[in-house]
Structure 1
């Protein structure tokens, strides 16, 4: 068997192991589904009447792509926390004793977490339909919208994997991640139009990759209004391209870096 085929086979085994763990610990699925529902309902009914939007835009349709992006980015912290937990419990040492590809542990972990993101997005989409969200585009565009959300989440998972390997404590991974992720998801176009932000924050939000992911999803789902002001920044005029640049860039940096760090960490 070639090295690539062996790596893919080993990765599939690790991904299956992580998904079986989710099945045996149902709390993970419960909280992964309840949290998105809570965000959708709270923002839709608590803030929906207080945020001014262009005529012809419902807050339900404006909100859901932002909730999608926030939830999958927050969910990516699972990768780092899980790796840190495996290191802490000595499970990585057990993997080392097996005749398997070193990178398979990371690939399997990120693929399994991508599966959790699929569950979260499905739950959010169904909840969104209940509160007024609709897809106003073609089937192909809608699929592309979900795929670009999942691609961005997959890239962030690799970044979080690097954090988990360096920190090695699940609690610290979660705390450190939230300190960074919360500003990124809130100083963006996730919940409010960028026109309402002060100049400095607006400039940051325009080039924030979370904003481009949200804008790309809104356009692909048909959740934008022709009466809304056109974006001024190139990043939001071309959100799909800008998002893919970030996805490719993050993966190009953190996949080899995480694998190298894992090999060094597992070698201790």
Structure 2
């Protein structure tokens, strides 16, 4: 009420001085994702390089060695191989993650991010979301290649669930790649991580069923986290293979969901903590 007895017009609504922390976390994460996808858009050869080895492996194992491979319970080896190759593509992805992270670290990009008023977790999360989107494209291309070779999965919810399990494994391995990328000194050292990834994929059920291996090696392969995803994907794609006698093989679908949770619970905090300690 003014001095003349007339109500004064209400003033403009107060403008908040700052937005919530969640908004800025999502905005920062979105900017990191946009930056990562822009790099792939301008350098599509990077995706071609990432897909080159898995596609070459499909051709070699499917056509060159396929006639010499046996599948427990019979069946076409290509049907056994293809889901395993999808898992291998997801597993090797952590090397690409580590290479990108260490490149940004050595070029001072991460230091620039740290000097900005942005959430440190957004940098790590943005890298993870970017790699997950790229993994979707990789899986789509790999599946089209497999179908061109004669692989015919069952459709429906089983296909969707298998696709989701593959991305779930990739999501967990992203944090291993981020953590290793913040540890290794240069991109050349990150490339050397192939020496770790190769035996990890070979001693698994990607190419050969564990029950066809020597007992001790088959036990190691059966408890390999990527073996659970490979076995579960085969079941969901409609190309089941007789499992072994171990508990982990009999519960492959359960363990395909549990293993990524365990890996994420370990390596996501390690990656964030390592990023926060870079300048200390």
Into which bin does the TM-score normalised by the smaller protein fall?
over 0.9
**1:250 aligns to what?**
263
**2:50 aligns to what?**
32
- Counting only pairs closer than 5 Å after superposition, residues 218-257 of structure 1 correspond to structure 2 as 218-225=234-241, 228=242, 230-257=243-270
Q: Relative to total residues, which structure has the larger helix share, 1 or 2?
A: 1
- Report how far residue 55 of structure 1 moved: 4.9
SS in 2 for 1:77: helix
Aligned-pair Cα RMSD in Å? 1.4
Partners of 1:24 and 1:144 in 2: how far apart?
A: 32
**2:12 aligns to what?**
none
Matched, 1:184 2:200: yes
Q: 1:105 aligns with which of 104, 109, 123?
A: 123
Q: Structure 2: 5+ residue runs without aligned partners?
A: 1-18
Matched, 1:149 2:166: yes
- Report how far residue 209 of structure 1 moved: 0.7
Task: List structure 1 runs of 4+ shifted beyond 4 angstroms.
Answer: none
Partners of 1:41 and 1:48 in 2: how far apart?
A: 9
Tell me which of the two structures has the higher relative contact order, counting C-alpha pairs closer than 8 angstroms and 6 or more residues apart: 1
Partners of 1:234 and 1:249 in 2: how far apart?
A: 18
Q: What is the CA deviation profile of residues 34-72 of structure 1, one whole-angstrom value per residue up to 9, with x for unaligned ones?
A: 333212111100111001224552111100111001111
Partners of 1:91 and 1:249 in 2: how far apart?
A: 30
- Counting only pairs closer than 5 Å after superposition, residues 17-166 of structure 1 correspond to structure 2 as 17-136=35-154, 138-166=155-183
- Report how far residue 231 of structure 1 moved: 2.3
Q: 1:7 aligns with which of 1, 11, 25?
A: 25
Partners of 2:238 and 2:277 in 1: how far apart?
A: 46
TM-score by length of 2: 0.89
Larger Rg: 2
Partners of 1:96 and 1:210 in 2: how far apart?
A: 34
Matched, 1:194 2:210: yes
Partners of 1:82 and 1:192 in 2: how far apart?
A: 31
Partners of 2:73 and 2:175 in 1: how far apart?
A: 40
- Report how far residue 32 of structure 1 moved: 2.4
- Report how far residue 193 of structure 1 moved: 2.0
Partners of 2:68 and 2:253 in 1: how far apart?
A: 29
Q: What is the CA deviation profile of residues 149-183 of structure 1, one whole-angstrom value per residue up to 9, with x for unaligned ones?
A: 111111111011111111131111221x2222111
- Report how far residue 199 of structure 1 moved: 1.1
Aligned residues between the structures = 262
Q: Structure 1: 5+ residue runs without aligned partners?
A: none
Partners of 1:194 and 1:93 in 2: how far apart?
A: 45
SS in 2 for 1:100: coil
Partners of 1:159 and 1:36 in 2: how far apart?
A: 20
Partners of 2:99 and 2:141 in 1: how far apart?
A: 23
